[in-house]
Structure 1
Amino acid sequence: MTIDRRDLLGLPVEVAPRLLGAQLRTVVDGVETALRITEVEAYHGRGTGDVPDPGSHARMGPTARNATMWGRPGHLYVYLSHGIHSCINVVCGPEGTAGGVLLRAGEVVDGADAAAHRRGVSPPLSRIALRDLARGPGRLGQALGLRHALHDGIDFVTSEEQNGAIAQLSWGEPVADVSAGPRVGVAGLAGTMAFPWRFWITGDPTVSPFRWGRGAREAAKQG
């Protein structure tokens, strides 16, 4: 069942755990791949929710970079990390408020050979290689073939083609056991249990390992 815009009108921290188990399918330049989402992180923009989020791209307000986060829900915010990795976020919340759910990891369930080719992984694919195809947000974006800035703002509700790509997000089987904790690699207080806005399917092997962001360990000790 396709996810509708109305399903995404809540705060990102509320929407994020519900996206676990959902399936994101892409067709890029005629090549189809799909993954089951196993790990996510919520991010709020300025004025979204009761607690300011110092870890969000939209914490200071609208910019050219984060414009998609302020638009209608049902689009993907695709940004460039470290000048290399295209990372994918599900835009949620009403238009005019900023919210995104970063897709941190997933299990490739269709088109594994195509995902491996995009990632530069040579066949045959071992169990470890399959596990790692979309384990981490940069790998996930690469495996699905979505790229900044060609596919930033792509609409997964209408599945309208954008620069040779189509995306569709649909609900999966309900997830019974969900864990929560601090976001990965986020600096300072925003990367501590003050913001337990990372959610993952407990025990799933494709979930990425945790690492502290700059100054986050120290901030956690002080808190």
Structure 2
Amino acid sequence: MDLLGCVLVSETPEGTCSGVIVETEAYRPEDPACHAYRGPSMRNRTLFGGPGLAYVYLSYGMHRLLNAVCEGEGVGSAVLIRSLAPLEGVPLMRRRRGRAADLCNGPGRLAESLGVGLSLDGHDLTLGEGLYIAPGPPPRGEIVSTTRIGVSRGAELPWRYLVLGERVSVPPRRISGRGLRRAWNVREPA
């Protein structure tokens, strides 16, 4: 939840791309959908490396997905960054994706748009260089939680967070029957 509104920045030799994080999903070690559920392995060792590391893996053999490790060293837990509102480098994102639309509304799409490769697994997202997360303005819309999507185990857990009104991977109108909850309103009262 704390990542919503932050800016994800990718600096590569091709150029800089960035976007505001508008959708995330949480994965904890007791969660059967978490890669850390069965303990450390060569594939998931980054999950146990400590907060602020990028956990990048290949999903279905074709999509690179970016997570931010969020617990202390030895505890396998991360947040999947699912969607961004593009800020900078949109022409480069379009070239990388080969299309003008749907650049960052989905975890595979945003990784492709930002040029996130498997070589960034274990990269420190707090250093402010290469691939990093920077503070951003408070989200413009209300933050809500719902059940996660794209998982077969632990799907009932309401650990997907998104900013209403932003372009996300699966719009809220399609998830209203799946446990949409008001998390909190980040706007100041009038």
Q: How does 1:48-127 map to 2 (within 5 A)?
A: 52-121=30-99, 125=100
How far off its partner does 1:209 sit? 1.1
1:169 aligned to which of 125, 133, 138: 133
Runs of 4+ displaced beyond 4 Å: none
C-alpha distance after superposition, 1:111-169 (max 9, x if no partner)? 00001111111xxx4xxx1xx21010000100110112x11111122245xxxxx1121
Q: Distance in 2 between matches of 1:44 and 1:18?
A: 15
The alignment-based identity, stated in percent, is 39
Q: Distance in 2 between matches of 1:65 and 1:115?
A: 28
Which residue is 2:163 aligned to?
A: 201
What RMSD, in angstroms, separates the aligned Cα atoms of the two structures? 1.7
Q: Distance in 2 between matches of 1:106 and 1:76?
A: 16
Q: Distance in 1 between matches of 2:127 and 2:5?
A: 21
C-alpha distance after superposition, 1:4-53 (max 9, x if no partner)? xxxxxxxxxxxxx11111001011234210011010000012xxxxxx20
Number of residue-to-residue matches in the alignment: 173
2:143 aligned to which of 175, 178, 181: 178
2:94 matches 1:133: no
2:153 matches 1:158: no
Q: Distance in 1 between matches of 2:104 and 2:53?
A: 20
Contact 1:77 1:88 in 2 (8 A): yes
Kindly indicate which of the two structures has a greater share of residues assigned to helix: 1
Contact 1:28 1:146 in 2 (8 A): no
Letter in 2 for 1:103: I
How far off its partner does 1:109 sit? 0.4
Q: Distance in 2 between matches of 1:157 and 1:53?
A: 26
**What TM-score results when the alignment is normalised by the length of structure 1?**
0.73
How far off its partner does 1:203 sit? 2.0
C-alpha distance after superposition, 1:192-215 (max 9, x if no partner)? 2xx1000000121x2111789xxx
Contact 1:24 1:169 in 2 (8 A): yes
Q: Distance in 1 between matches of 2:148 and 2:107?
A: 12
Which residue is 1:187 aligned to?
A: 152
Letter in 2 for 1:208: S
